[in-house]
Amino acid sequence: MNKTLLVSAILLTTMIGQAGVVEAKPRWDNSQQAIQDAINSFKSDLLLRALLKEMPKGGDLHSHLSGAITMERLIEWGAADGVCVSTTTYVASPPPCVAGQTALSNALTDTSLYDKVLGAWSMKGAPNTLLGAHQHFFDSFGKFGAVLTDDRTDDSIADVLSTAGKNNQVYVELMQGFSSSTIGRIAKNYILPTDPWDEAYLLKKRKEIIGDPLFNTTLQNAKLSLKKSLDGAHQLLGCGTANPDPGCNVEPRFLLSANRTNDRGYVFAQWVYAYELAQTTPEVLGVNLVSPEEHPNSLLYYNDEMLALNVLRRFNEKTPKRRPVHIALHAGELIPSVLPATPEGQQHLTYHITNAVKIAHAERIGHGSDLLDEVSGAGVGDLLKTMQRQNVAVEVCLTSNASLLGKQGKTHPVRTYLNYGVPVILSTDDQGIFRIDITDEFVRAVTEQGFPYKTLKDLVRASLEHSFLPGKSLWQQKNRYDKVAAACKNDMPSTIKPSASCGKLLASSERAALQWKLEAQFNEFEDNAVQIIRALNNQQ
């Protein structure tokens, strides 16, 4: 078990005589009603945001590390590292600067240059058209990529954790490549475009790829690099000192993201690498698939990649003594205008979520915005029932979906998912590029979707329930947050000193330990709600 969580769980079981036992809150009490009344009455989004920032918000399960960093920090780092930037495209590159470039450090004193760089690297400078914004977003990664050297990974993690901590989160799962592109590139030595694509073939190629001399070297380097980066991030945050950053309260974990803009062999090799990295690196919990879903290679190889991932999943589950490797997939992040105008091109709207769930057995879907177009097979209703039955959650990114897909308010399917009992988690996607944080997603949930406090609270709880953290849940039934597990039947999550059986659960389960911590945070927030609201009302 993670050392920080273990210590937290032990402390919870030994806080005798300090504060006694806190009585469990009813399912709905006056303080929770006061929060709902405030949400209804606040006329200013600033006041609503201030209230929701104080609310515990669990975990962010859909966050790309490179896109989550505060853009101002990226400019600072690039300036300090001598990075150059084009004076026309604002694409960063390593020094020395050549004709048509200037030192990024000049942006620190040149306001016009600074604004242009910030606009090129984030959605601040996005065009007003939907397709223009869509393209600007995906282009931005290549513009600041040169800043994100390996030496800046600890800074990057620290920045994201700090933002999460300041917004009262306790957990993040970050998508990162971990040098998997190195393994992706060797796939061409083993997999030819005309080769068959079935289970026997893929398992054979898995062995060959693992046997490549570069594979183990890359794997070991990635393992050591992650440890170094996490240690460095915690040092930057001042963890263990007298004045730790709020980010020290946030537990980071990682998903290895394969790049879907390459061919199927490249993607398969990245996933082979991911499954092996997860065996030796406990912080790596699963896999994902990133980059534009509408890319020609993504469309061409989509079903082949779903099949390949299922082959690796089955192998991992059937092989004794292997760590679980979880599957979260971007799927359904599509609109008609980004796809080829041919019948074949538009057909992709009808099955990407379905096949991610039914072929690849994804445990979580990222975005899932084109849900109502998923008419393949038995249709949308059957897909939703399957997701509910298999407990497949959806990582909903409201700002991203509004900005890049035009899906917001009634055009967003989030309510449909909830009406069918499909678990939903609010996530940020790329908070640095969008210039948001998780609190902004909860503000949108209220102002655009009309979600009440009860729903917000369940969305927060779902973020830890559907995290890929190991261990049993604190809750007795999936997606029900009114009855705790049998081990804690004589306790409630708000008790400070749990019973022996409950304490044992918390000490053995990273998931339950964080869920317990979250419930304590909710109790504190709700106990102080009247004072918080009174202070905010005085600002109106």
27-36, 266-275, 488-497: least confident range: 488-497
Please list, in sequence order, all residues whose beta carbon lies within 8 angstroms of the beta carbon of residue 92, skipping any fewer than 6 positions away. Answer: 78, 83, 84, 85, 104, 143, 144, 145, 146, 147
The yes-or-no verdict on residue 354 having pLDDT over 50 is: yes
Q: Is the pLDDT of residue 18 over 70?
A: no
Model pLDDT, residue 247: 98
Residue bearing the bigger pLDDT, 532 or 70: 70
Residues 265-300 have pLDDT tens digits of 999 999 999 999 999 999 999 999 999 999 999 999
Residues 443 and 399: their CA atoms lie apart, in Å, by 10
Mean pLDDT of 241-259: 98
d(CA 387, CA 395): 13
Quick one: DSSP state of residue 17?
A: T
Chain centroid, CA 55 distance in Å? 19
Classify the C-alpha dihedral 20-21-26-27 as positive or negative: positive
- Whole-number percent of the chain with pLDDT over 90: 88
Span of 29-33, 79-83, 298-302 with lowest mean pLDDT? 29-33
pLDDT of 498 > 90? The answer is no
Q: How many CB atoms lie within 10 A of CB 197?
A: 18
- Please check whether residue 502 is in contact with residue 488, taking contact to mean a CB–CB distance below 8 angstroms: yes
* pLDDT value for 485: 92
- Using a cut of 0.85, tell me whether the model's pTM lies above it: yes
Backbone angles phi, psi at 385, to 5 degrees: -65, -40
Listed in sequence order, the residues at least 6 apart from 430 whose beta carbon sits closer than 8 Å to its beta carbon are 63, 64, 67, 68, 137, 400
Angle (CA) 182 331 162, round 5°? 70
| Residue 62 CB neighbour total at 10 angstroms | 29
pLDDT band at 540 (very low <50, low <70, confident <90, very high): low
Distance between CA atoms of residues 370 and 273, nearest Å: 30
Residue 156 has pLDDT above 90, yes or no: yes
pLDDT at 20 over 70: no
Residue 4 pLDDT level (bands cut at 50, 70, 90): very low
- Residue 16's pLDDT band (boundaries 50, 70, 90)? very low
- Does residue 24 surpass a pLDDT of 80? no
Q: What is the per-residue pLDDT for 491?
A: 83
Residue 2 confidence (pLDDT) above 60 = no
Here the tokens at position 214 are 């570069």
- Res 28: pLDDT: 55
pLDDT, residue 525, reads 94
Instruction: Write out pLDDT tens, residues 169-207.
Output: 999 999 999 999 999 999 999 999 999 999 999 999 999
At 17 the pLDDT is 28
Q: Among 82-96, 198-212, 237-251, 476-490, name the one with the lowest average pLDDT.
A: 476-490
Whether the per-residue pLDDT at 1 is higher than 80: the answer is no
Q: Among 79, 86, 139, which Cα is nearest to 116's? A: 86
What is the pLDDT of the chain when averaged over all its residues? 93
Domains annotated on the chain, with CATH:
3-57+471-537 (no CATH), 70-146 (no CATH), 189-207+255-450 (3.20.20.140)
Q: Which tens digit of pLDDT belongs to each residue from 118-143?
A: 999 999 999 999 999 999 999 999 99
Query: What is the rounded distance in angstroms from the CA atom of residue 14 to the CA atom of residue 7?
Result: 11
Lowest-pLDDT range of 24-33, 55-64, 166-175, 340-349:
24-33
Q: List phi, psi (to 5°) of 241.
A: -100, 180
12 pLDDT higher than 70: no
Query: Which H or E run includes 209?
Result: helix 199-210
**So what's the pLDDT on residue 110?**
98
Asked if the model's pLDDT at residue 208 lies above 90, the reply is yes
Nearest 5 degrees, angle CA 219-CA 175-CA 416?
Answer: 140
